[in-house]
Amino acid sequence: MDSKGIQRTAFALLAWATAWTTMFTLEQKLDLANLAMLMVLASALSAMWLPGWASLVVSAAAVMAFNWFFVPPKFAFTVDLYQNALLLVVLLLVNWIIAGLMLRQRRLAESARILASREARLRQWGDTLRDASDPAAHAAALRTALGESTGSGVVVFVLRSLNGQENESTILQVGEPNSEQRAGLALCLREGRAMGPASGRYEQLPDAYLPLRGRSATLGAALLIGLGRHTGRTELLPHLQALCDQMGAALQRSLIAAQEQLAREQAQLQATRNTLLASISHDYRTPLATIMGAASALQDQGDRMDADQRKRLANGIVEESERLARLTENTLQLARLDAPSVSLRCDWESAEELVGAVLRRIRQRVDGSRVRAWVAPELPLCWCDAILVSQLLDNLLDNALKYSPADAPVELHARINKDDLILTVSDQGPGIAPAWREKVFEVFQRGDSPKPEDQPNIDRGAGVGLAVCRAIARAHHGELLLRARGEGGCLFECSLPLRGRGPCIPDVDLPQAQS
């Protein structure tokens, strides 16, 4: 007997001891009927704590003791008056009725407690599955819940997809069934119906098989080993099936959500491809037409042109070719940097050399003389991909030259701020509206900045340059931001970590640039 049972028995004995003490004390003051009422009260109280059979036995013994001590003739089991005999019979029946009613109420209370416990477990299990991003990861928790409810071994099969294929790659198995049990699980999974004891199908089986049913599909099966050997546990099957059905519904919701997400991603990818093709076809068509026109003119009429005309056509071919090359490089880099686990070809690079190389290229342009650069002295080396950082600066300077007046300077600064290398490109153009300061970094967004008055025919481009710049900065675990300027224009600020922030970055002392 456990401590709780001992405590209940002690309460029952205390009730009887109190009743008998009171009856002996008041024997000379009360008649038999009133004394009998005290015993009925004690019987009712003790029935609250004693088991049913014990309450019946104790009540019968109490009636016999009442006859012995209080009913004339005392200290004998004989009864002189029939009224006293009727009193004893009624007293025994009332005590047994009270014991039976209390036993029934206790069983009803225990059933209510069990139902409440099961309902709480179902609710808690539902909350767990509702908040789970991957319900299949809770297959072990389902196995534990079923095992705690039945006290038997449990094996769980969970499907990872809705494609209808059942193999080792699509089924998550928790537990080790034998070959016969594995076949039963597969059959239960295919048919979506329970099997085994009290299920109406294959009831001679010693094990119970429960499907993990969703709304329109079966997403797994659970095996309850040896449940048929315990007849008292088969009443748990509706509760166990409810646990399994909650798992099946959660699995189906998760798989449908994954399919919907995949469909959205594919639709978005297709839309991006269509937009990319439309944008590239438009932005490629203009420079190609210029190149083809200039090349055709040189081929057909080159001997009738003077040197200045041929040089102007040749310069146009070179400029448009560079524009095509820049557009192609931006598009390819954007596709590469958007891929997962992109790898960079990083090395220790000098900021002075990076800025110098970009200046040499940009000043080959007609308007490249407007670019002014300033590099802080004694900058440390930066761990970066030199080609990508150069492309970032090329794009920013190209944008600044394109969107600023022809006589306005464009500034490129390089400095250090704590552990970051800060590269800024600023211009004196019309600027970008606050509502567009984040949108301009999205692919195919060109902003709503007005064109410079002295460049009314400027082409806005494909809208991938700034998207590539931010992708390059973030690939280095840095950031590219558009800052507001009080005097007008735009200021793009790129921060790159000097030491890097990735697992491939060597943990060495930071070298200094050579002055």
On whether both 204 and 142 belong to a single domain, the answer is yes
On whether both 351 and 493 belong to a single domain, the answer is yes
In a domain, 291, yes or no: yes
* Domain end among 66, 92, 124: 124
In a domain, 504, yes or no: no
In a domain, 513, yes or no: no
On whether both 238 and 265 belong to a single domain, the answer is no
**Integer distance in angstroms from the first to the last C-alpha of the chain?**
89
CB half-sphere exposure, 46, CA atoms < 13 A: 29
Contact 475, 392 (CB under 8 A): no
H or E segment to which residue 374 belongs:
strand 371-375
What's the CATH code of the domain at 431? 3.30.565.10
Question: Poorest-confidence range of 27-41, 185-199, 466-480?
Answer: 27-41
In a domain, 303, yes or no: yes
* pLDDT average, residue stretch 75-90: 75
On whether both 227 and 271 belong to a single domain, the answer is no
On whether both 486 and 347 belong to a single domain, the answer is yes
On whether both 115 and 160 belong to a single domain, the answer is no
Overall number of domains in the chain: 4
On whether both 158 and 115 belong to a single domain, the answer is no
Question: How long is the chain?
Answer: 515
Residues 180 and 173: their CA atoms lie apart, in Å, by 15
* Domain end among 82, 101, 124: 124
In a domain, 324, yes or no: no
Q: Which domain holds residue 223?
A: 135-255
On whether both 227 and 278 belong to a single domain, the answer is no
On whether both 238 and 354 belong to a single domain, the answer is no
In a domain, 100, yes or no: yes
On whether both 461 and 360 belong to a single domain, the answer is yes
* Domain end among 95, 124, 153: 124
On whether both 139 and 175 belong to a single domain, the answer is yes
Which pair of tokens denotes residue 466?
Answer: 């700034």
In a domain, 193, yes or no: yes
pLDDT digits (tens, 9 = 90+) for 389-400: 988 998 899 888
pLDDT digits (tens, 9 = 90+) for 170-225: 788 888 888 888 889 889 988 888 988 888 888 888 889 999 988 888 888 999 88
Average pLDDT, the chain: 79
Question: Poorest-confidence range of 78-87, 349-358, 384-393?
Answer: 78-87
In a domain, 514, yes or no: no
User: 178-202 in b/e burial notation, b at 16+ Cβ within 10 A?
Assistant: eeebeebbeebbeeeebbbbbbeeb
Residues 6+ apart with CB under 8 A from 48: 11, 12, 102, 106
Q: What was the pLDDT predicted at 456?
A: 46
On whether both 151 and 205 belong to a single domain, the answer is yes
What's the CATH code of the domain at 176? 3.30.450.40
